[in-house]
A and B are shown apart, each in its own frame.
Chain A
């Protein structure tokens, strides 16, 4: 489900792979319609996939369906992506130090790169916990990148 008002897009989807893929398709459509350059498209697309996948994989203890909501906005200087979920409280900034990209190949962990990549490739990466119930992550990418 989505609501497209030209310079912004609101979408909601299920916390499963089908929901992720559907949401990713909507995100990519929006970015194309806004005429964003490939670098911006890549960064926002990456942020969406990585952060939503984390929510789906680790955010819930039950098998119940949950709804994840996203809002994309083009304010002329940035594309912003906010992701809102009702999973466990989780501040993605808390795991950034767990990745060390400077160790030799043998010592590199194969996982954990998703949040690190999004944090590295976006200009704003901001998390809040709202009403002791909602996780809200905001990322922004500058349009002149």
Chain B
């Protein structure tokens, strides 16, 4: 699992994840993810395009980030998850608690709502 920070200055944080967000993947990137997103005072977009697998450990990481930003009045937006990852997110009820967008313009708009 790899985390790439696309943008960290400006009005929002933009990171891209690639690989399997399973227990091993989360172990590899969680500290960097928290540092890049949870600890900041700005909304964040997480590009999920290259995430091929998401388990409850990955969901825990994303949910913690969303809750952390929520306490600051900010949003976490998930961008372009693959079909099975999207199905997993929907099964876990994530679409009701954070924006999940396939279009990047819509993702940026969702940051501001």
Contact = CB atoms under 8 A, between A and B. Distances in A.
Q: How large is the interface on A (under 10, 10 to 19, 20 to 34, 35 or more residues)?
A: 20 to 34
Nearest to B98: A105
Given A49-B22, A102-B96, A121 B56 contact: no
Contacts of B70: 105-106
A53 B97 contact: no
Nearest to A21: B24
Secondary structure at the B interface, as helix, strand, loop or mixed, is helix
A49 B64 CA distance: 21
Contacts of B97: 104-105, 108
B54 to A, nearest CB: 9
Interface string A87-118: 00000000000000110111010111110110
Interface stretch (B9-17, B28-36, B40-48, B84-92): B84-92
A104 B97 CA distance: 6
B84 A110 contact: no
A10 interface: no
- Highest count of chain A CB atoms <10 Å: which of B23, B67, B93: B23
Nearest 8 pairs of A and B residues by beta carbon: A101-B93, A114-B56, A113-B56, A105-B97, A42-B84, A110-B60, A110-B63, A120-B91
23 contacts: A17-B24, A39-B84, A42-B53, A46-B53, A46-B55, A50-B55, A53-B57, A101-B93, A104-B97, A105-B67, A105-B70, A105-B98, A106-B67, A108-B93, A110-B60, A110-B63, A113-B56, A116-B92, A117-B56, A117-B91, A117-B92, A121-B88, A121-B91
